[in-house]
Amino acid sequence: RGRITVPELRARKAQNEKIVMVTAYDYPSALLAERAEVDVVLVGDSVGMTMLGFADVLPVTLEMMLHHVQAVRRGLHRALLLADMPFGSYQIGEEEAMRSAIRLLKEGGAQAVKLEGGALIAGLIKKLTGAGIPVMGHIGLTPQSVHLLGGHRLQGREPEAPERMVADAKALEEAGAFGVVLEMIPADLAAKITASISIPTIGIGAGPACDGQVLVWHDLLAIPPGRPFRHVKQYANIGEQIESALRSYAEEVRRGVFPSKEQSL
Ligand code: KIV
Ligand code: NA
């Protein structure tokens, strides 16, 4: 099968075929996501937290994103490569936003970009798609607004939220976005949004009605080990396995067991 395309992803909704998305930030992870036949690999600005140890996504720069997008590009063939536009790369003005998005495609090899926001960024999305750049929106919990929102928590519980979020999703669709991430909103609201637009919704902490799902690499693989967020399912305990392998290695070096004759040249 050939490369997954944006029109193909859009068409999945009408065909009732779920879209599978996962984050990845480097070459070996991209290779594995590709082998597992994931549809979309997102180089999220969550890289700041998962890979770089920042407390939130705000410090992530376009240069950091490019570094990781380029590495993921080298590991992908069929899956679509989607890149987050980091905080500060599209908020100052349309010209800067265009330049940032173009760099993610031109230098990073991304096939599409993702921006946080609803109706407020519709104009910008129109410009980007007009330039041939596919855009995915992102509403609900938008981590680049963590200080405004007061934390990484469930969104959309205020009485006026359903109306506002449906309007945001419609504005994104009208502006030409090819999909929208719904993050950390009640399942019934996500279902309502999904039913009100004809572009796919990709949920994370947004229930089963979304047209696709996305999980963060480190969350679904339990790296580092620990209790997951409620919306996460841990499909393996890779963090534990890595720690235990490293302990075995350390112990064998200390006891003089490794290297043995077998590993000696
Ligand atoms: O940065 C990220 O990983 C994301 C997903 C959670 C959607 O934006
Ligand atoms: Na993100």
Q: Is the minimum distance from the CB of 45 to ligand 1 under 6 angstroms? A: yes
- Does residue 177 surpass a pLDDT of 90? yes
Q: Whose CA is nearest to atom 3 of ligand 1?
A: 44
Q: What local confidence, expressed as pLDDT, does residue 74 receive?
A: 98
Residue pair 77/84 in contact (Cβ under 8 Å)? The answer is: no
Please state, in angstroms and as integers, the Cα–Cα distance from residue 19 to each residue in 38, 56, 212, following that order. Answer: 8, 27, 4
Task: Transcribe 192-235 into DSSP letters.
Answer: HHHHH-SSPEEEESS-TTSSEEEE-HHHHHTSS-SPPPTT----
Mean local confidence (pLDDT), 135-142: 98
Mean local confidence (pLDDT), 17-24: 98
Domain boundaries, the chain: 6-234, 238-265
Q: Is the pTM of this model over 0.95?
A: yes
Tell me how far apart the alpha carbons of residues 20 and 31 are, in angstroms, rounded to a whole number.
16
Q: Whose CA is nearest to atom 1 of ligand 1?
A: 44
Closest-lying ligand to the alpha carbon of 216? 1
pLDDT-based confidence at residue 107 (cuts at 50, 70, 90): very high
Specify the CATH class of 6-234 in words. alpha beta
- Mean pLDDT score of the chain: 97
How far does the centroid of ligand 2 lie from the alpha carbon of residue 138, in Å? 8
63 backbone dihedrals φ, ψ, rounded to 5°: -65, -45
Asked about 160 being catalytic, the answer comes back as no
ipTM: 0.99
Mean local confidence (pLDDT), 16-25: 98
Q: What local confidence, expressed as pLDDT, does residue 37 receive?
A: 98
Tell me how far apart the alpha carbons of residues 184 and 155 are, in angstroms, rounded to a whole number.
6
13 is in an annotated binding site: no
Q: Which atom of ligand 1 is nearest to the CA of 23?
A: 3
Q: What local confidence, expressed as pLDDT, does residue 105 receive?
A: 98
pLDDT-based confidence at residue 191 (cuts at 50, 70, 90): very high
Tell me how far apart the alpha carbons of residues 227 and 23 are, in angstroms, rounded to a whole number.
19
Mean local confidence (pLDDT), 60-79: 98
Q: Which atom of ligand 1 is nearest to the CA of 216?
A: 3
Tell me how far apart the alpha carbons of residues 49 and 243 are, in angstroms, rounded to a whole number.
20
- Give pLDDT tens digits for 193-233: 999 999 999 999 999 999 999 999 999 999 999 999 999 99
How far does the centroid of ligand 1 lie from the alpha carbon of residue 43, in Å? 8
